[in-house]
Amino acid sequence: MVELFKSMPFSAKFGVIGCGIFLFCAVFAGLIAPYGEREIVGDVWEPASGAFWLGTDNLGRDMLSRLIYGAQTTIAVALAASILSFSIGMLLSFTAAVVGGWTDQVLSRVNDMLLAIPTLIFALVVLAALPQNIFILIGVMAIIDQTRVYRLGRAVAVDVVVQDFVEAARLRGEGWGWIIFKEILPNVLTPLIAEFGLRFAFAVLFLSTLSFLGLGIQPPAADWGGMVKDNKDGIIFLVPAALYPGAAIAILAVCVNMVVDWMLNRTSSLKGGRG
């Protein structure tokens, strides 16, 4: 592990450290946060001080503590949604590419229909209609996101399906499972990993957007998008509170992509990453 880390280029190291800090905050939020998530500890929009390192928010809660708790919610929800959307999208797209024919047509056209609906409006309507809970939120984000994964997954898988080695596997009598997971998946991982980094960053942004609009994480739970919303009015009075969660979103997105970039370099090598 240590050697692996040493062999990384600077950008990847930076990304790993950044992601590590965010993850640490997310996992151990209850231990490291100086105050409680919902605890009102001071005045509204107090400036940064020894007691409140990043000041307080619009209700007088400690900004740093909320940022740390926000990492927990935001990362967990975005990660869960990304993983779910990738699982669904990849499974459906590979099935479409390998089986072909009617299966492909039906899956692809349904996917096109979903794509035709603007994501935000779709999410707003569905989330407004369904009960507010975190699992439904994750599910809706995943369903919307998997349409993008499906398009990419099908495009790259179709390229691989026509290769001779897939034909050789078919001639051997292999089942769909083997062809999808052993022949195709390893060969399309590269673009999909790149996409995962991007999609995760988008999921963070999308969640933040939903929270900003009041349909994501419900107050008083902390999440970065909601925190921007709560504190946006402060900007008029030169209170920087809204900028911290905004910066956190940006830094997380950058760090994730730096790590993904490095992983891409490794996985795109056809020599098993030895090169």
Partner 1 sequence: MSDTLLDVRGLKIGATIFPPGEDPKDIEIVKGVSFTLEKGKVLGLIGESGAGKSTIGLASLAYGRGQVRITGGEVFLGGEDILKYRPSGIRSLRGRRVTYVAQSAAAAFNPAHKLGEQVIEATLRHGIMPRSQAMERAKHLFKILGLPNPETFGDRFPHQVSGGQLQRAMTAMALCPQPDLIVFDEPTTALDVTTQIDVLAAIKRAIEETGVAAIYITHDLAVVAQISDDIMVLRHGNTIEYGDVKQMIEAPREQYTKELLSIRSDIKPEAEDQSGALLRLNRIDAAYGAGLQVLFDVTMHLPKGQTLAVVGESGSGKSTTARVITGLLPPSKGEVLFKGEPLPPALKGRSKEQLRQIQMIYQMADTAMNPRQTVAEIIGRPLSFYFGMGGSEKAKRVSELLDQIEMGTGFADRYPAELSGGQKQRVCIARSLAAKPELILCDEPTSALDPLVAEGILKLLMDLQRETNVSYLFITHDIATVREISDSIAVMYKGRVVRFGPKSKVLAPPFDDYTDLLLKSVPEMELGWLERALASRKMEAAGN
Question: Which residues lie near partner 1 (CB under 8 A)?
Answer: 163-165, 167-168, 170-174, 182-183, 186-187, 270-272, 274-275
Least spacing, CB of residue 192 vs partner 1, in Å: 13
Separation of alpha carbons 152 and 126, rounded Å: 25
- Shortest Å distance, C-beta 185 to partner 1: 9
CB of 97 to partner 1, least distance (A): 16
- Which residue, 27 or 189, has its beta carbon nearer to partner 1? 189
Our CA dihedral for 223, 228, 229, 233, rounded to 10 degrees, sits at: 150
Main-chain dihedrals φ then ψ at residue 40, nearest 5 degrees: -90, 115
What is the separation of C-alpha 188 from the centre of its chain, rounded to a whole number of angstroms? 20
CB of 181 to partner 1, least distance (A): 12
- Smaller CB distance to partner 1: residue 43 or 159? 159
How many CB atoms within 10 Å of residue 115? Answer: 14
Q: How far is the CB of 215 from partner 1 (least distance, A)?
A: 42
Q: Which is nearer to partner 1, 109 or 182 (CB)?
A: 182
Alpha helix ranges (H) inside the chain: 2-7, 10-27, 29-32, 63-99, 101-116, 119-129, 134-161, 164-172, 176-178, 185-212, 224-231, 243-267
Write the single-letter amino acid at 132. Answer: Q
SS3 of 62, please?
strand
- Using the minimum distance from each CB to partner 1, give the nearer residue, 131 or 275: 275
Task: Rank residues 131 and 173 by Cβ distance to partner 1 and give the closer one.
Answer: 173
